Amino acid sequence: MGKQSYAIVEGGGVTTPRGFKAGGLHCGLKKTERHDLGVIACEAPAAAAAVYTTNLFQAAPLLITREALAKGGVLRAVVVNSGNANACTGEQGESDAREMQANAAEALGVSKDEVAVASTGVIGELLKMDRVNAGIAKLPGRLRSDEQGSDDFCQAILTTDLVKKTSCVELTVDGKPVRIGGAAKGSGMIHPNMATMLGFVTTDAKIGATLLQEVLREVTNVSFNMITVDGDTSTNDMLVAMASGLADHRELTRQHPDFPAFADGLRHVCTELAKAIARDGEGATKLIETTVSGADSDDAAQAIAKTIIGSSLVKSAVYGADANWGRIIAAVGRAGVPVNVATVDIRLGDIVVLEQSRPVSFDEEQALEYLKGDTVAIHVDLHMGSGKATAWGCDLTYDYVRINAAYRT
Amino acid sequence: MGKQSYAIVEGGGVTTPRGFKAGGLHCGLKKTERHDLGVIACEAPAAAAAVYTTNLFQAAPLLITREALAKGGVLRAVVVNSGNANACTGEQGESDAREMQANAAEALGVSKDEVAVASTGVIGELLKMDRVNAGIAKLPGRLRSDEQGSDDFCQAILTTDLVKKTSCVELTVDGKPVRIGGAAKGSGMIHPNMATMLGFVTTDAKIGATLLQEVLREVTNVSFNMITVDGDTSTNDMLVAMASGLADHRELTRQHPDFPAFADGLRHVCTELAKAIARDGEGATKLIETTVSGADSDDAAQAIAKTIIGSSLVKSAVYGADANWGRIIAAVGRAGVPVNVATVDIRLGDIVVLEQSRPVSFDEEQALEYLKGDTVAIHVDLHMGSGKATAWGCDLTYDYVRINAAYRT
């Protein structure tokens, strides 16, 4: 990816790219007075793309959004509720998601096929549609194009997340400024029956829906798909991207000289959101970043990085600030890809703990200090080829167990 | 498997089958005065078979045992130490494992190619061979053919396991009594750098090494391979079976009318040991038994059962006695095998919580009572075909995090 081809926009979010407004309000799905209904709207028809959970039990809003995008890859808005996932709710759930879509379209004065729907919250309960509908009617009055709009939207998609997650970059295409902004919620199936990850990306770049879909898929594979909180894939995961096209440049193609800058900026936004989700995992006290290099292929490196980051034993050791390389190499060995068992190096930050698969004596005090920090980097070099990958996760703590054991009892 | 074709031998173990003695002692690898060196010996050349961890980083003892078995499938003894896994120890580790094998062979008066070696404990440290060798010299004097011998051996293979794990059955072949006894240690990579599962099965049945290997592999797939404590596969897992042939019957073949009884008895012993390991998992308060039926195939059922039993969210919910079917169906949906998303039933014990993929209202008090028990059964029926499987695991508790976070710091 070479030299950084974008600038970070501090405080930027989904309303930073031209053409986008956002907002949120409390309609009554959450028990407390927190926002639980949000919307992003685009003043132009936005080229749109989305990726969805691989879980076979996909919630109703995903079906509706998929249908909408199939009709031309154009969106004008996405409406989101938290507090109820509208998953495992059968035909009524599907009809409720359609009602959300139709009512939002009417309130915003757009076609219903231009509205995506997303939900997050409890599985298996029907939406209180009177509250949702009353909220949707008020949404147009809450739309703002400033940071407050982005903030309100971010609050509306949280469940038990502790912090809002936004990211924004600016780059140039044909010498014209282009922004990419994002918002996300996480992380893990945080609460019992609560659903995982929602991501929303806006940009004013001019790009067709087909290419946007391709690059979104590529970027997702190295960002959102490289985080693990607890290995559980939700029924509601969804990432939606909308491009207003209001930046005044020639339409992006793969051949456009500034396409790499756009892809790189999109990767940055998605990676920052993904890392924010991992760091804010249930009960997490640390972000763990695992980099695998020297693998046979990028795919092999990804498999190993994700196995390490998903290991309960590695996660517990990091929580305990234990420089436990035995667990890391055991995870490497069970990742399901070929590994040369004699040539593995492992570093924790800059501290070498294993070289050519043999233990290296290291300063335990120094390792303890490093592992007590709020970000822990695990580096594995296989010395086999040029494949590499990075994955992100969090430590496994008492609070994870508390949060997930003590919900309903 | 039909009618039970074997009787359970209460208190039986690896010394119950004719021809076997066992013993254990403290040689100094564990810090406390607990046994850390054990042996099982057979007075006859025993047809032998073994299965090993799939982890690519296999510990030195596994290489040595594999070599020994490759020379004819006959064993006279297996020598085991706990407190040190002899894993990631390079050429010195291999040479140490060979020394254990040779010294045990000399002490017992057998050929070194007839001795298997197993180790469990810390990864990446060299064995204190002076202590091991001094212990091996004393082992022949500790061999006993009674329950005490089995007990001493069981103690010698424990690391942080809380309870000894044995099982024994008796059946008849050609009208003659045949016994199958087993011993195992678990569970998970219990302590930081501690290695997982060792299993030892003895029998006086007359059976060739090739058929014993086949049936051991088959039985392992539905017993030891169906338990999960934390999803981490150790570098040292090993299961060894030895058949003394001293029961006076025609050699078992697949066509022998009593072969099913033998296979069934072996399955019982391995399943009981596997369940004991799951129940004694790190920090565990409960055994979870997940049965999947109505799948496309047994393989599909296995994949789903293992995904459910491995889900941190399901494990936390069971710890919290939370009837959280949303997490169970989410696990079904991410198991990587096709599922009809409209026809899933889920029961917790006898309590139906999902029918045809739709929530069923149930008595929460009754569910809470049931989930507070020491064994929780999760039943999933997919209504697609006749494939079925059962997997075992344990709940995820504060103690799991404590044990695994607080070891070295």
pLDDT in tens, B181-218: 999 887 554 333 344 678 899 999 999 999 999 999 99
- A74 is written with which tokens? 């154009």
Structural contact between residues A180 and A205, judged by C-beta atoms closer than 8 angstroms: yes
Please name the residue of chain A whose CA is at the shortest distance from the CA of residue B368.
Answer: A409
User: How far is the C-alpha of B195 from the C-alpha of B82, rounded, in Å?
Assistant: 9
What is the residue-averaged pLDDT of chain B? 89
3-state DSSP call for residue A227?
A: strand
More confident position, A322 or B346:
B346
Using 50, 70 and 90 to split pLDDT, how confident is the model at B1?
very low
Confidence (pTM): 0.80
3-state DSSP call for residue B57?
A: coil
pLDDT, tens digit, for every residue of B39-87?
999 999 999 999 887 777 888 999 999 999 999 899 999 999 998 989 8
Q: How far is CA B251 from CA A133, B173, B218, B254, B353, in A?
A: 76, 9, 19, 10, 49
What pLDDT, on a 0 to 100 scale, did the predictor assign at position B2?
A: 47
User: How far is the C-alpha of B358 from the C-alpha of B342, rounded, in Å?
Assistant: 8
Contact A323 B408 (CB under 8 A): yes
Contacts of A311 in chain B (CB under 8 A): 230-232
Contacts of A369 (CB under 8 A, 6+ apart): none
Structural contact between residues A85 and A237, judged by C-beta atoms closer than 8 angstroms: no
Contacts of B88 in chain A (CB under 8 A): 326, 329, 354, 357-359
What pLDDT, on a 0 to 100 scale, did the predictor assign at position B160?
A: 66
Interface residue of A62, A225, A401 to substitute, partner B, most B CBs within 10 Å = A401
Please name the residue of chain A whose CA is at the shortest distance from the CA of residue B337.
Answer: A56
Contact A409 B321 (CB under 8 A): yes
User: How far is the C-alpha of A43 from the C-alpha of B185, rounded, in Å?
Assistant: 65
Q: Where are the beta strands (DSSP E) in B85-175?
A: 115-122, 165-173
Q: Which positions of chain A have pLDDT values less than 70? A: 1-3, 160-161, 187-196, 229-234, 406-409
What pLDDT, on a 0 to 100 scale, did the predictor assign at position A230?
A: 64
Helices within B206-311 (DSSP H only): 209-222, 259-279, 298-310
- Mean pLDDT over B347-360 rounds to 94
Please name the residue of chain A whose CA is at the shortest distance from the CA of residue B359.
Answer: A124
What pLDDT, on a 0 to 100 scale, did the predictor assign at position A229?
A: 67
A vs B, Cβ pairs < 8 A, gives 212
pLDDT, tens digit, for every residue of B108-165?
999 999 999 999 887 888 999 999 999 999 999 999 999 999 999 999 998 766 778 8
What pLDDT, on a 0 to 100 scale, did the predictor assign at position B196?
A: 61
Contact B409 A368 (CB under 8 A): yes
Selected catalytic residue, list A120, A196, A203, A271: A196
Q: Is A185 annotated as belonging to a binding site?
A: yes
Output the known binding site of B for substrate: 159, 185, 196, 282, 404, 409
Q: Is A84 annotated as belonging to a binding site?
A: no
The region, left, alpha or beta by phi > 0 then psi within -120 to 50, assigned to residue A11 is: left
Option in B124, B321, B358 nearest A359 (CB): B124
Contact A334 B401 (CB under 8 A): no
Q: What percent of chain B shows pLDDT beyond 90? A: 66
What pLDDT, on a 0 to 100 scale, did the predictor assign at position A304?
A: 95
3-state DSSP call for residue B83?
A: strand
Contact B310 A231 (CB under 8 A): yes
Annotation says A196 is catalytic:
yes
Q: How close, in Å, is residue A254 to chain B by CA atoms?
A: 33
Contact A322 B400 (CB under 8 A): no
Q: Is A235 annotated as belonging to a binding site?
A: no
Interface residue of B56, B189, B286, B304 to substitute, partner A, most A CBs within 10 Å = B56
Option in A320, A334, A409 nearest B406 (CB): A320
First and final C-alpha spacing in chain A? 49
More confident position, B304 or B313:
B304
Option in B55, B234, B313 nearest A230 (CB): B313
Does pLDDT of B386 surpass 80? yes
Helices within A238-334 (DSSP H only): 259-279, 298-310, 312-319, 325-333
Option in A189, A326, A408 nearest B322 (CB): A408
Q: How close, in Å, is residue B229 to chain A by CA atoms?
A: 10
Q: How far is CA A173 from CA A5, A157, A338, B186, in A?
A: 11, 31, 42, 59
Contact B57 A329 (CB under 8 A): yes
Option in B310, B326, B358 nearest A193 (CB): B326
**Does the interface ipTM go beyond 0.95?**
no
Helices within A139-258 (DSSP H only): 147-157, 209-222
Please name the residue of chain A whose CA is at the shortest distance from the CA of residue B331.
Answer: A232
Contacts of A150 (CB under 8 A, 6+ apart): A12, A13, A14, A15, A16, A22, A166, A181, A183
Contact B326 A404 (CB under 8 A): no
What pLDDT, on a 0 to 100 scale, did the predictor assign at position B194?
A: 40
Interface residue of A55, A56, A120, A358 to substitute, partner B, most B CBs within 10 Å = A56
Contacts of A124 in chain B (CB under 8 A): 325-326, 359
Contacts of B125 in chain A (CB under 8 A): 359
Contacts of B325 in chain A (CB under 8 A): 124
Contact B316 A405 (CB under 8 A): yes
Positions of B marked catalytic = 196
